[in-house]
Amino acid sequence: MSDGSRERDRAVDADELLAALPDPVLVVAGDDVIVRVNEAFCRSFGVESDHAVGRSLDRVAGVPGTVIGAVSECVADARSGAAQGPVEAAVRSDGAVSTVEIDAGVLDTDDGRVIVVVRDVTERAERERVLADGERRFRAVFEGTTDALVVADDDGEYVDANPAACDLFGLDRAALLERNVSAFADADYDVAAAWDRFLAEGAMTGEFELVRPDGDRRTVEFTATADVTPGRHLATLRDVTDRRRIEADLRESETRFRQIVGRVEETIWMAEAETTDLLYVSPGIEALTGRPPAYFVDDPIWNFVADVHPDDAPAARAAVEEWLADVESGDPDDEYHFQFRYVRSDDAVAWLHVDASVVTDATGRPDRIVGIIDDVTDMKCRERELERKNERLEEFAGMVSHDLRNPLQVVVGRVALLREEGVATESVADIERAVDRMAQLIDDLLTLARGGDDVDTVEPVSLEVVASQAWGTVASTDASFAVVDRAVVTADEGRFRQLFENLFRNAIEHAGPAVAIEVGVVRDDGVATGFYVADDGPGIPPADCDRVFEPGFSTATDGTGFGLDIVAVVAAAHGWTVTVTEGASGGARFEFTDVDVA
């Protein structure tokens, strides 16, 4: 066969090959003029073969500029022999964008002919884009999650780990990826058996103790999935060491709490603030009410109120409604107190005292209601008995006052007749002093018998005014009196005046009718803390200072021994502390502290 025949055969073979290729193909000569195109090229770019052949690609209408540029690049690379690969180009058509891959190869080095294949890879590019987007999302989650994530191969070698895993294992990523899962297990743990079981089952969850390289042990919850991709196994790890320790502490605390409440006499209960659902009630509830704890579960507060004594029920319901409204408002008081009669299951009536407190959460909202219920029946019985005794004492005091004062009035009348008849003045004076002493004794005894330790309403009163009023009732013509400080004291005005009257009488009785009395303010580092009453008399012997407030004690021959006792009772009723010391002039000084004084 001649060379011409072989050349014609190769041309026929090339034409057949071009026609058979499904992708657009063109052949360009050394001067970049197109010498051949296949049918797929014509269809793809909407051109006739005669229109394309004999022209350079940039003169063929319908071929996008991006394709022309990419073809030129590939042809130049092919002719230069430079390392090359397919070049991708975006093609717009009818508003849609497709992706083509262009590849070129030299057909004839002598004349520089190059064959160019233009392959539509839009679907492949889209799949790759979706895969790339998925990979980016996966890495974002993988790297950003706070749970530790590790990936291992079939041999248990770590091949990937996120930052949280590095923190958990105590290693940087490079060091962690050099380790096997067995490197972090306890020495007596059969890692191989567990790993084989995991691969066979395909998934595993549980908890284990992770041993870090520094020896620190962490309790870890894990969820593992085999073959998330072939030969790659993902595990999610969460450090629960602190949580497990807190749970253990809570269990221990709960045990101690139940042991404690099981031994106290009071009944302790706890409920949800929002729903009032019962969270806990101590076993003592059954002994207290005669009803088991289950009786109160559905609606603990109102089930309890339902058995309040009918006479106390309206007030109890109103108080509880107000209390729960406070809780619902989100601004309850710190404590609430209720007291009422309760009808037990056996119809016995008990007096109960309930203290309730609202526990708030971190935001300040009510979270729990905690209460203590105490049986105060015995205390109430004692109170009633004490009231009856006080009533009888009051009746007795009134009777004694009447029966003692009547004979004294007779004596006073007879003394007056004796004076008119000219009986010796000295004898009559002795009788009058005895009568006055008996009258004062009766007054003091009545004061103590009629609730001497009680005060009525306290209010701010003037120290100067009250002391001056008291002085006016006991003043001696030869005695002197001065209030050296002005102050306002919170006190029961009547009882405050009575305190001064007794102190003034005591001073005149012990220091004589010419005594000088001074009232002033007690100060501690310049701050007013109380008041004092001082005189310039002989004072009180140190041995007697602790006894002067005892009932019946007196160093005066004609004293009742109850005046300073009344002073101590009035001070205690106000919550004041009273002490007796030596005054600046050597006399007695009575100091009252813990006083609300301004």
Residues linked to residue 149 through DSSP beta bridges, in sequence order: 236
Amino acid sitting at position 139:
R
- pLDDT-based confidence at residue 8 (cuts at 50, 70, 90): very low
Q: Give the pLDDT of residue 349.
A: 94
Which are the contacts of 555, defined by CB distance < 8 A and separation ≥ 6? 510, 540, 541, 544
If you average pLDDT over every residue of the chain, what do you get? 84
What's the CA gap between 490 and 496, in Å, rounded?
10
pLDDT above 60: residue 403: no
3-class DSSP state for residue 553?
coil
Sign of CA dihedral 22, 24, 25, 26: positive
pLDDT above 70: residue 156: yes
Label residue 315 left, alpha or beta by phi (over 0 means left) and psi (-120 to 50 means alpha): alpha
Q: Which stretch of 61-75, 153-167, 405-419 has the lowest confidence by average pLDDT?
A: 405-419
Q: Give the pLDDT of residue 237.
A: 94
- pLDDT-based confidence at residue 6 (cuts at 50, 70, 90): very low
Residues linked to residue 478 through DSSP beta bridges, in sequence order: none
Q: Give the pLDDT of residue 148.
A: 92
The candidate with the shortest Cα–Cα distance to 549, out of 534, 533, 571, 566, is 566
Average pLDDT estimate for 552-574: 70
| pTM (2 d.p.) | 0.38
Average pLDDT estimate for 76-104: 76
Average pLDDT estimate for 90-119: 81
Q: Which stretch of 189-203, 206-220, 470-484 has the lowest confidence by average pLDDT?
A: 470-484
pLDDT above 50: residue 455: yes
Q: Give the pLDDT of residue 460.
A: 95
List domains and CATH numbers for the chain: 3-120 (3.30.450.20), 145-243 (3.30.450.20), 262-375 (3.30.450.20), 381-448 (1.10.287), 453-593 (3.30.565.10)
pLDDT above 90: residue 184: yes
What's the CA gap between 25 and 17, in Å, rounded?
10
Q: Give the pLDDT of residue 1.
A: 46
pLDDT above 90: residue 44: no
pLDDT above 70: residue 130: yes
- pLDDT-based confidence at residue 298 (cuts at 50, 70, 90): confident
What's the CA gap between 535 and 516, in Å, rounded?
6
